[in-house]
Amino acid sequence: MAGRARVHGPGGSLDGFMAGPRQSIEHPLGEGGPELFQWFFSTRTFCRMHGGGDGTTGTDDDFAARGFENIGAWILGRNMFGPVRGPWPDETWRGWWGEEPPYHVPAFVLTHHARPPLEMQGGTTFHFVTAGIQEALRLARRAAGDKDVRIGGGASTLRQYLAAGVVDEMHCAQGPVVLGEGEPLFHGAGNLRALGFRVVERIPTEAAIHYVLRK
């Protein structure tokens, strides 16, 4: 039995943006984007992933940890893999995370430009998919087996998969932040209600309001 396609953790500003504008090496989440993820950066889950100590426990950490449970493969947009645009000039860019990315399972990167698979430490192998979102999902499901596929963003990738009607569950964390501009979270994602989504959890913390939407 195939697992679910899940989205976990996109931060949303009060004015509807998931990332700030002008993403770059200096600003991987766009200018102002890190403000959206303060609920996540302090958690034990994040800190242990990045060797930063114990971190905090509680509701925010519970949601962070849930995003890694039963995940057999990831799908990433090219922006989430790195800031390089157009044809790959070479193979020196190996992701934002150093030699041991936090995924530890196969990760399928959407791109228009082919590149050989990239095997990293800790069990992560990046596969670069040029045939579109459905092919990436097919390959990810095959790699995941009976586990779930996590669709990891960025914003454009999430919107495409939502509009395609293939996402089964989504967790969002709305922070007390106004960005003014950036990457919209839901604009262009289709009619979520018509797609069958309902809010099944709503839990506020000091750093965010957590929502879980499920079909």
pLDDT digits (tens, 9 = 90+) for 117-147: 999 999 999 999 999 999 999 999 999 999 9
Q: What is the pLDDT of residue 209?
A: 97
Residue 75 corresponds to which amino acid? I
Q: What is the pLDDT of residue 7?
A: 97
CA distance 133 to 71: 18
Tell which residue, 97, 119, 115, 96, has the closest CA to residue 107. Answer: 119
Q: In sequence order, what are the beta bridge partners of 201? A: 212
Q: What is the pLDDT of residue 61?
A: 96
Instruction: With cut-offs at 50, 70 and 90, classify the pLDDT of residue 21.
Output: confident
Contact (CB, 8 A) for 136 and 75: yes
With a pLDDT cut of 90, the percent of the chain lying above it is 72
Query: Could you write out the three-class secondary structure of the chain?
Result: CCCCEEECCCEECCCCEEECCCCCCCCCCCCCHHHHHHHHHCEHHHHHHCCCCCCECCHHHHHHHHCCCCEEEEEECHHHHCCCCCCCCCCCCCCCCCCCCCCCCEEEEECCCCCCCEECHHHCEEEEECCCHHHHHHHHHHHHCCCEEEECCCHHHHHHHHHCCCCCEEEEEECCCCCCCCEECCCCCCCCCCCCCEEEEEEECCCCEEEEEEC
Omega cis (within 30) before 55:
no
At the topology level of CATH, where does 5-88+98-214 sit? Dihydrofolate Reductase, subunit A (3.40.430)
Backbone angles phi, psi at 210, to 5 degrees: -95, 130
Angle between helical axes of 155-163 and 133-144 (0-180°, round to 10): 90
pTM, rounded to two decimals: 0.92
CA distance 8 to 74: 11
> Mean pLDDT across the stretch 102-125?
96
pLDDT digits (tens, 9 = 90+) for 33-87: 889 999 999 999 999 887 767 889 999 999 999 999 999 999 999 989 988 889 9
Instruction: With cut-offs at 50, 70 and 90, classify the pLDDT of residue 19.
Output: confident
Tell which residue, 58, 44, 212, 75, has the closest CA to residue 149. Answer: 75
Q: What is the pLDDT of residue 1?
A: 66
Averaged pLDDT of the chain: 93
As a whole number of Å, the CA-based R_g of the chain is 16
Q: What is the pLDDT of residue 195?
A: 92
Domain ranges, ordered by start, for the chain: 5-88+98-214
Contact (CB, 8 A) for 72 and 145: yes
